[in-house]
Amino acid sequence: MPRKAKLGAFQISPSRAARAHYDRRLMRIIIRFSAGLEVSFSPRDAQGLEKATAAQLERIEISPSGCGIHFPKIDVDLYLPGLLMGFLGSRNWMASRLGSLGGKSKSAAKVAAARRNGRRGGRPRKNIKKAAG
């Protein structure tokens, strides 16, 4: 029975990355682990790879421990247990991505509030003298 390493609140299997490649047709990075699990993701969703070209992604090296992958053409490393835990980026990076998505929400209530606010002349200006005194 394989031992499991505890990482935060998650149990991570000691499975190692066995193969990794970029599929140009699917536009996805595919990682196959020694335990048989295969994970694929869009490079646009991974911290450090957001703006990488297909040519920059074509060469992927697996670390000796099997816990990381390296993209030598752009000098980016991804730690696989962290990638799986944080869904392709650090906790702070993921929070910023989720926050930006929330700001783009187009609910009916948000649209109506923006229209009402616009009819009143928009967001009121800050009174700097009042805030300083």
Q: Which residues contact 5 (CB under 8 A, 6 or more apart)?
A: 11, 12, 14, 81
- pTM of the full structure: 0.57
Q: Is residue 103 part of a domain?
A: no
Residue 26: is its pLDDT beyond 90?
yes
CATH number, domain of 21, equals: 3.30.2020.40
Write 40-44 long-range contacts (CB < 8 A, 24+). 41/88
CA distance 34 to 20: 11
Write phi, then psi, for 44 (nearest 5 degrees). Answer: -65, -20
Residue 125 resides in a domain: no
**Total domains, the chain:** 1
pLDDT digits 0-9 by tens, 94-132: 666 666 555 666 778 877 877 887 788 777 777 776 655
Q: Which domain range does residue 90 map to?
A: 5-94
- Structure-derived torsion over alpha carbons of residues 91, 92, 95, 96, reported in degrees to the nearest 10: -150
Per-residue burial over 93-114, b = 16 or more CB atoms within 10 Å of its CB, e = otherwise:
eeeebeeeeeeeeeeeeeeeee
Name the pLDDT band for 15 (thresholds 50, 70, 90): confident
